[in-house]
Amino acid sequence: MEQRVTRKAFDEYMVPVYAPADFIPVRGEGSWLWDQSGKDYVDFAGGIAVNALGHRHPEVLSALTEQAQKVWHLGNGYTNEPVLKLAKQLVDATFADKAFFCNSGAEANEAALKLARLVGHSKNADHKNEIIAFKNAFHGRTLFTVSAGGQPKYSQDFAPLPPAITHLPFNDLSAVANHISSRTCAVIVEPVQGEGGVVPADPEFLHGLRALCDQHDAVLIFDEVQTGVGRTGELYAYQAYDVVPDILTTAKALGGGFPIGAMLTVDSLAAHFQPGTHGTTYGGNPLATAVAGKVFELINTPEVLGGVALRHLWFTERLNLINHQYHVFSEIRGMGLLLGAVMHERYNGQAKQLNQLAAEEGLIGLIAGPNVLRFAPSLIIPQADVEEGLNRLERAIARLCS
């Protein structure tokens, strides 16, 4: 008989860059997961803002299996139908004229930052290469993106890092105004800092960045890897803020669970990339883009996008009620279905502990730093599942506070 795989195998065989929960989910359906023992969980994590249509959505499953019967991969010597359809969907729905496909958020940001440097060099061969980024930002784990990220603990051990990246305080427009110059080639920002604690940008901050980039001929990059594809209730957060970037990166929810990323930009910038300047083997692979095309089609509707605002209320109203009783949070914040509950100072640093208690009660959540409990559930989660998940959270909170 085949031996049963257990959580112990992780410690035995896996490079220890993660510390996964001690149970192993084996099946998902909608906003529910089941582990090896058959225990059920309400899923408010969505694979970290990825499973935007929940698990095993029937139409997405059909798109996957239909494409799997045709052709999986061709390489970039040939284009394919699903990638061309997806590119048109993205261009039709956004400010962008062109799309570049890759496999992850980090790769989308890597492409964006490389393009910004390339554009800067075309204007001033030596000097227009500085990138302004923000403290507590997260842009991925490649060396360039981890350097652009604003948490030194993720980058410092990999020095020497790519130079000419400056980190300024998030939401501090005067800091940017004081620093930006003709040397600046790009400003990269998350409209809502996700990993950094679910911190929405102030509207004036993003509008101000747009104006400063225009003044100094720098490109404005919105990292919408976490906020994109409906998460905030708009297709992309830039639309909610009414600030149009020059480059936008999208991944996570774009594939609904199938790995894919994209960088979107306008013709005048896209033209700086020529055959050979950038690429990736799997980028725009027909299997990934067939799935993403279906996910995008299903999410980019008034019903799904409008439903996000309603679900935001289901969450925040109940979370505030729970908090009224237990005073465990100091603030409930976020946009749409990217929600952060900040631990009250009495429970400082205990977000992870609360998340573990929640898992014991059958709720899968996320944290964003030591102090913020984060939820990024399916955009179509039914009200009954929200209620059930929050019942379970309330039991976990009662235990934390006892």
Residue numbers at the binding site for ligand PLP (CB under 6 A): 104-106, 109, 138-140, 190, 194-195, 223, 225-226, 251-252
Residue 315: both structure tokens together = 């969450």
Distance CA(337)–CA(361), nearest Å, equals 22
Beta carbon nearer to ligand PLP, 106 or 201: 106
Smallest separation, CB 252 to ligand PLP (Å): 6
Beta carbon nearer to ligand PLP, 112 or 341: 112
Runs of H (alpha helix) within 193-285: 203-215, 237-241, 267-270
Smallest separation, CB 243 to ligand PLP (Å): 16
SS3 159: coil
Contact 288, 255 (CB under 8 A): yes
Distance CA(351)–CA(356), nearest Å, equals 9
Beta carbon nearer to ligand PLP, 147 or 385: 147
Between the alpha carbon of residue 259 and those of residues 78, 128, 252, the distances in Å are 20, 33, 8
Q: From 338, 307, 385, 295, select the one nearest 57 (Cα to Cα).
A: 295
Beta carbon nearer to ligand PLP, 116 or 322: 116
Contacts of residue 333, Cβ cutoff 8 Å, sequence gap at least 6: 198, 199, 200, 339, 340, 342
Distance CA(399)–CA(318), nearest Å, equals 18
Provide the annotated binding site: 105-106, 138, 141, 223-226, 280-281
Beta carbon nearer to ligand PLP, 154 or 314: 154
Contact 221, 188 (CB under 8 A): yes
Smallest separation, CB 126 to ligand PLP (Å): 30
Beta carbon nearer to ligand PLP, 67 or 226: 226
Count of C-beta atoms within a 10 Å radius of residue 324: 8
Distance CA(198)–CA(175), nearest Å, equals 21
Contact 339, 309 (CB under 8 A): no
Runs of H (alpha helix) within 100-187: 105-123, 143-148, 152-155, 173-179
Residue 379: both structure tokens together = 């955009």
Beta carbon nearer to ligand PLP, 105 or 233: 105
Provide the annotated binding site for N(2)-acetyl-L-ornithine: 141, 280
Between the alpha carbon of residue 220 and those of residues 137, 223, 379, the distances in Å are 15, 10, 28
Smallest separation, CB 156 to ligand PLP (Å): 19
Smallest separation, CB 154 to ligand PLP (Å): 11
Smallest separation, CB 192 to ligand PLP (Å): 9
Smallest separation, CB 17 to ligand PLP (Å): 12
